[in-house]
Each structure stands twice: as C-alpha cells, then as structure tokens.
C-alpha cells in the first residue's frame, strides 16, 4: 500500500473511475458507501463549501478529512444520494431523512440532508452489520464490571441503566447484554424490546419499533407491553419522565429492564432521574445497577505511538479545498501505517464505572436526594473504580494514550 492514510483505499478506487462514464456519479456514491464501510466509518459527512464538497469520515469516534470533490460534482453527488435514499431531489431547502434502498447497500444506511449556505450537507449513518455478534466479553469492559454485570443480567427484576454521553457505545453494550441474556436463558425467558429506532435485529428477542406519531411511544408502549407477559424488557432510551416512571414500575412488578440514559457519570444519572420526579424510594428499590461508559480509541499495536495532536480538521479541509482539481486527498503527512490509516489508533475499548445502588451509603444518598458530586464521592469511598481511575490504568497498560483520555474525558486527575 503506497498511501497508508485512512483515505488511501478510497483514493485508489476513485482514480479508476471514468469521468466520461454515464455512471460516473452513481459510481462515486457507490464507492463512498463501500469504502466507508470498509474503512469502519460510522458516519460520512459531505459538507459543501464555496469551492468544494468535503468528505469526512467518523472512525472510532473521531472525524477525519478524507477527500474534497470538485464543486461542480457537489450537487450531483448529493442528488444521487437523495435518489437512492428515496428523498425528494427537487426539495433542497428543507431537511430530509431517508434510508438507502437495500439494492444499493447490504447494510442499514440512513441519510439526512440539511440546507446550508453553500448547498445541502448530507450526513450518512452506517449501521453495523447484523452478523457482527458482539457478546459482553468482546467489548473490553473492565473485568470487575463485566462479572458483576453478568450476575445482574441473571436477575428477575430491577432496572439496569447503561449511561454515558452520545457516542459512548451505550447501545452496543445494551445489545451485548441482550444477547448474553438470550444465551444464558436458552429460550426460557420472554424477551421483548421497545426501540426508537431498532438499530440491530437480535435473534431470540421480540423487537418493536415505537411510532410516537400514532400515539405508540415508549411510555404508553411499555404499559401495554406489560400485558404481553415479558420477563426481560429492553427500553431503547429513557428520554422523559413518563418513560422513566413506566420503566421503574415495570421493574418493581417483577421484570428485568435494560435501558440507556444520557448522563455524564453514574452519579449524575441518579440525580437526573430524581430531577425527572422519579420518587427516591422508587429509584432506591427499582434500580439494580448503573453503568456509565466511554469509548477510547485503542493504540495501534503496529505503529505504537499515536500523533501527539490531531491537526485542525477545518484547516486541513480548507487546504484540500484550495485549488481542488476534481478531487484532492486529505492526507496526514509523516509515518505510514496500513493497520490504522496512520492515525496511531485502531479499534476502541470501553471504559466503565459501575455504581451499586444497594450500598448502604448510596441508598441513603438516594433517599436524601444527595447531589451528584456528593454521590460520586460516596461511591468512590465505597470502592467504585471511577472512569478516571480506569483511564489511568488503561494508559499505564499502554492500551491508549494520555491525549486520547483528555479528548474523551476532558481531564485526567
């Protein structure tokens, strides 16, 4: 491989396309989708500027400039993408959402467009393949968290809360938990889900997609679901007090409830639920465990040292856009490593902290509506390994870098 940057394979394939072909633009779009999937991108951004259409890929949670297409191609590429996603090509003044038809992509791909100063921007979300069966053991959770979580998954009642900011891998963990329960129970437990949207089809679970516009939202759906005699319920995400209340009621009536919740730490998740008017006693008796997680990029085993700083993405894009001749490569100068696209990182690992609401100090803290900071201190003194401590261990073990921890956690105490 001559160029070992993230974009190298795309550049090579792009160079082979014939600009005179009638299928030139369809071929470019096909190539964008197939190469992004090959490059493990979770999202592709096509961003119009005055002089070019910039393409960026999010790989392992970080956005990389990949290429700049000539301005003249910009509207045609976006229009083609809209055609295969069933969007209205003549409407360029309103945001639109669609999914790429299966004949153009073997896996689930969603496209959203958004009108901007220089034309429509498109964001493409690439969903993982269904056969990517990730079990808990493959996530890289800390041993103590994994073994405790496995115990909790065997329980018959209570809420298991997976928390973290967006992009922290909560959904991946929740699906892994679901597969673990299915494997453990061997079909002896009725497992149902309520999701918005269903991101991955899981064999052995009965999955439902809510339709809020038809009055079938998470909260009302959950109440109806109770009459379906489930043992285990996955609620995609708690976003409002009604869903939170319904989830805790389900837990108290003998159901194991798995769900995700947006919060920066395990302690913050507790106080945010209290802020949603969940009664402290309900939280105290319904909650089985709170896990808060982050994803860190793993250090590449082959080239070892990641770059100390990521060059400014915008600066890099501008450079690519300048004097753009149909297409220019946004490459990282310097060392070349084919294993990680010269980013210094390959794959990701989960950092996690697990708060046990049954600890007497925590239980008391919940009932007294203690604030997040105080709860975190209580949990730490009761022996909880915090995200910060787990990050320190990961750096010491050479699994990731100090820079990466700073990027994800903001600081390292």
Of the candidate spans 98-106, 245-253, 263-271, 295-303, the one that interacts with Zn ion by CB under 5 A turns out to be 295-303
4 binds Zn ion (CB under 5 A): no
Of the candidate spans 67-75, 261-269, 285-293, 330-338, the one that interacts with Zn ion by CB under 5 A turns out to be 330-338
59 binds Zn ion (CB under 5 A): no
One of 159, 247, 263, 300 touching Zn ion (CB under 5 A): 300
**Least distance from C-beta 363 to Zn ion, angstroms?**
47
339 binds Zn ion (CB under 5 A): yes
CA 98 to CA 85: how far, in whole Å? 5
**Least distance from C-beta 300 to Zn ion, angstroms?**
3
**Least distance from C-beta 66 to Zn ion, angstroms?**
17
CA angle 291, 134, 293 (to 5 degrees): 20
Could you tell me how many residues of this chain bind Zn ion (CB under 5 A)?
A: 6
**Least distance from C-beta 314 to Zn ion, angstroms?**
25
CB closer to Zn ion out of 140 and 341: 341
Minimal CA–CA distance to 46: which of 38, 55, 59?
A: 55
DSSP SS3 for 257: strand
Tokens coding 195:
């999701």
Concatenate the DSSP letters of all residues of 304-326 into one string: -PPPSSPPPHHHHHHHHHTT--S
53 by Cβ neighbours in 10 Å (0-12 / 13-18 / 19+) ranks as: buried
One of 91, 102, 223, 302 touching Zn ion (CB under 5 A): 302
Cα distances from 403 to residues 229, 253, 284, 297, 349, in angstroms, run 49, 46, 38, 10, 15
Question: How big is the chain by its Cα radius of gyration, in Å?
Answer: 23
**Least distance from C-beta 346 to Zn ion, angstroms?**
6
337 binds Zn ion (CB under 5 A): yes
Contact 56, 65 (CB under 8 A): yes
- The answer for residues whose C-beta is within 8 angstroms of residue 270's C-beta and 6 or more apart is 283, 287, 290, 355, 357, 366, 372, 375
102 binds Zn ion (CB under 5 A): no
CB closer to Zn ion out of 141 and 394: 394
**Least distance from C-beta 31 to Zn ion, angstroms?**
24
CB closer to Zn ion out of 55 and 340: 340
Of the candidate spans 65-73, 224-232, 296-304, 350-358, the one that interacts with Zn ion by CB under 5 A turns out to be 296-304
340 binds Zn ion (CB under 5 A): yes
Of the candidate spans 93-101, 166-174, 250-258, 329-337, the one that interacts with Zn ion by CB under 5 A turns out to be 329-337
Strands 256-262 vs 232-238: parallel, antiparallel or unpaired: parallel
Of the candidate spans 149-157, 197-205, 294-302, 305-313, the one that interacts with Zn ion by CB under 5 A turns out to be 294-302
Could you say which DSSP state residue 229 is in? -
Contact 267, 355 (CB under 8 A): yes
Minimal CA–CA distance to 150: which of 161, 136, 140, 139?
A: 136
One of 11, 66, 266, 303 touching Zn ion (CB under 5 A): 303
CA angle 364, 369, 372 (to 5 degrees): 100
30 by Cβ neighbours in 10 Å (0-12 / 13-18 / 19+) ranks as: middle
CB closer to Zn ion out of 282 and 303: 303
CB closer to Zn ion out of 39 and 158: 39
CB closer to Zn ion out of 211 and 339: 339
Beta strands of 49-106 (E only): which ranges?
52-59, 62-70, 96-99
Tokens coding 134:
């990730």
Of the candidate spans 6-14, 245-253, 303-311, 317-325, the one that interacts with Zn ion by CB under 5 A turns out to be 303-311
91 binds Zn ion (CB under 5 A): no
338 binds Zn ion (CB under 5 A): no
CB closer to Zn ion out of 339 and 373: 339
258 binds Zn ion (CB under 5 A): no
In the complex, which residues of this chain contact Zn ion (CB under 5 A)? 300, 302-303, 337, 339-340
């Amino acid at each position: 491989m001559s160029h070992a940057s993230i974009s190298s394979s795309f550049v090579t394939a792009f160079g082979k396309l014939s600009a005179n072909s009638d299928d030139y633009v369809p071929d470019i779009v096909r190539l964008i989708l197939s190469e992004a999937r090959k490059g493990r991108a979770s999202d592709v951004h096509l961003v119009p500027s005055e002089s070019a259409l910039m393409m960026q890929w999010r790989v392992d949670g970080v956005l990389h400039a990949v290429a700049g297409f000539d301005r003249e191609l910009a509207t045609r590429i976006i229009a083609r993408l809209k055609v295969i996603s069933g969007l209205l090509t003549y409407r360029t003044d309103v945001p639109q959402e669609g999914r790429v038809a299966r004949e153009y992509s073997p896996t689930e791909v969603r496209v959203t467009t958004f009108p901007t100063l220089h034309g429509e921007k498109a964001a493409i979300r690439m969903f993982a393949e269904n056969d990517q069966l990730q079990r808990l053991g493959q996530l890289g959770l800390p041993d103590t968290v994994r073994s405790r979580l496995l115990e909790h998954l065997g329980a018959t009642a209570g809420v298991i809360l997976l928390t973290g900011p967006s992009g922290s891998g909560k959904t991946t963990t929740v699906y892994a938990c679901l597969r673990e329960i299915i494997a453990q129970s061997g079909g002896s437990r009725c497992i149902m889900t309520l999701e918005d949207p269903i991101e991955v089809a899981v064999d052995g679970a009965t999955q439902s997609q809510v339709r809020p516009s038809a009055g079938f939202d998470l909260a009302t759906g959950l109440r109806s679901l109770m009459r379906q005699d489930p043992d285990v319920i996955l609620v995609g995400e708690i976003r409002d007090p009604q869903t939170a209340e319904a989830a805790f009621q389900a837990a108290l009536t003998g159901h194991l409830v798995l769900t995700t919740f947006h919060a920066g730490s395990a302690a913050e998740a507790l106080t945010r639920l209290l802020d949603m008017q969940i009664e402290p006693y309900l939280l105290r008796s319904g909650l089985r465990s709170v896990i808060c997680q982050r994803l860190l990029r793993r250090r590449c085993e082959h080239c070892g040292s990641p770059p100390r700083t990521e060059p400014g993405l915008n600066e890099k894009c501008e450079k690519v856009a300048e004097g753009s001749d149909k297409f220019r490569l946004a490459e990282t100068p310097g060392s070349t490593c084919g294993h990680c696209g010269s980013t210094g990182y390959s794959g990701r690992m989960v950092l996690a902290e697990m708060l046990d609401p049954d600890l007497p100090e925590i239980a008391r803290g919940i009932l007294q509506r203690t604030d997040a900071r105080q709860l975190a201190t209580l949990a730490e003194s009761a022996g909880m390994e915090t995200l910060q401590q787990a990050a320190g261990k990961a750096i010491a073990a050479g699994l990731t870098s100090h820079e990466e921890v700073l990027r994800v956690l903001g600081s390292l105490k």
